Amino acid sequence: MTDAPLVLRDRQDGVETWTLNRPRKLNSLDQAMVDALHGALDAVWDDQALRCVIVTGAGDRAFVAGADIAQLRERRHADALLAINATLFDRLARLPVPTIAAVNGFALGGGCELAMACDLRIAADNAKFGQPEVGLGIMAAAGGTYRLPALVGLGMARELLFTGRIIDAETAHAIGLVNRVVPAAELADTAMKLAQEIARADSMAVRMSKAALAQHTDGGPDLMAFESTAQAVLFESPEKFRRMDAFLARKARRAAEKAEKELS
C-alpha cells in the first residue's frame, strides 16, 4: 500500500492549498516533510496561473508542532550550518505569489517559523504559538530571530524568545503575530475567501507588491548565516542532549501510559 503524500496539494481557481499530512506526528518537520515542501515549491515556482498558496496542517491538533525532536537531537554543528529549515522557509517567503498560513492547533518552534515565513496568518481559536527552543538547549534559528521582531516588535520578540513561552491565538492577534482569529470550524473557509480575494486582483500587480514589500522585511543571507552559526554551537552543547533526552523520555512515558489505559 502506497503511503499518502506528506504534502497534499489541491488547486481551485488559481489558489493552491498545501496540507502538511503527518497528523499522527502533529505534522512535525522531519527531513521527509522538508523535502516534500521543497518539492511543492519546485512544482509551482514558475506557474503564472498560480495566484495564492494556503499552507495548513492535517487534523485539528496541529499546524506544525515543531521539528521532529528525535531527529533534531542527532543533528550536530555541521547540520546547523546547512540551515535545513531556514533555507526552506526562506524559499517559501520568496515565493512570487502571496502565501497564507491557516493555523489550526499548535504552531511551535519550526511550526511558528513556518507560519511567519508566510505573508499572512489566520489562526483558529484553538491555535497556540511559540518558540520554545530555549527549553531544549537550542534557539529559534530558522528565521525566528528576525521574522518574529518584524511582526511583533523587538521587545515582545525578546520576551517570547528568551522565555520560550507559548501563547494562545487571541494573544498572538493582540501582539500582531496573526492577522485574524476565527472559530476553528471556519478556518478553511476564511483562508480560502481571503485567497480568492487576492486571486481576483491583477496577478502582476500583486506579485510586484510582494516583491516591493520584501525590500522592507528583515532577513537575508547574513542573518540566516548568523542564526545557523549560533545554532551550530548549541547543537554541540551537553545541555542540548540532556534536555532533548528528557523531552523524549517524557514523550515515551506519556505514550506508554496512554497505551496502558487503552488496554485496561
In this predicted model, what pLDDT tens digit does every residue of 80-102 receive, in sequence order? 777 889 999 999 999 999 999 99
Helices marked H in the chain — which ranges? 31-44, 69-74, 77-81, 84-94, 110-117, 144-152, 154-163, 169-174, 187-200, 203-214, 221-235, 238-263
220's enclosing H/E stretch is: none
Query: Can 159 be counted among the known catalytic residues?
Result: no
- C-alpha 114/C-alpha 97 separation (Å) is 16
Task: Exactly one of 74, 113, 186, 197 is catalytic; name it.
Answer: 113
Structural domain includes residue 69: yes
- Please give the grid coordinates belonging to residue 72: 533534531
Identify whether 197 is part of a domain. Answer: no
What is the DSSP-derived secondary structure letter of residue 84?
H
pLDDT digits (tens, 9 = 90+) for 29-45: 999 999 999 999 999 99
Can you give the residue range of the structural domain that contains 180?
A: 7-191+210-257
Q: What is the pTM assigned to this prediction?
A: 0.87
Residue 115 lies in a domain: yes
**Domain containing residue 69: CATH number:** 3.90.226.10
Q: How many domains does the chain have?
A: 1
pLDDT over 50 (residue 1):
no
Question: Each residue of 212-248: b (16+ CB within 10 Å) or e?
Answer: eeeeeeebeeeebeebbeebbebbeeeebeebbeebe
Q: Is the residue at 2 inside a domain? A: no
Say what the pLDDT of residue 3 is.
Answer: 75
Which three-class secondary structure state does DSSP give residue 30?
coil
Q: Is 113 annotated as catalytic?
A: yes
Residue 137 lies in a domain: yes
Identify the active-site residue in 16, 74, 133, 260: 133
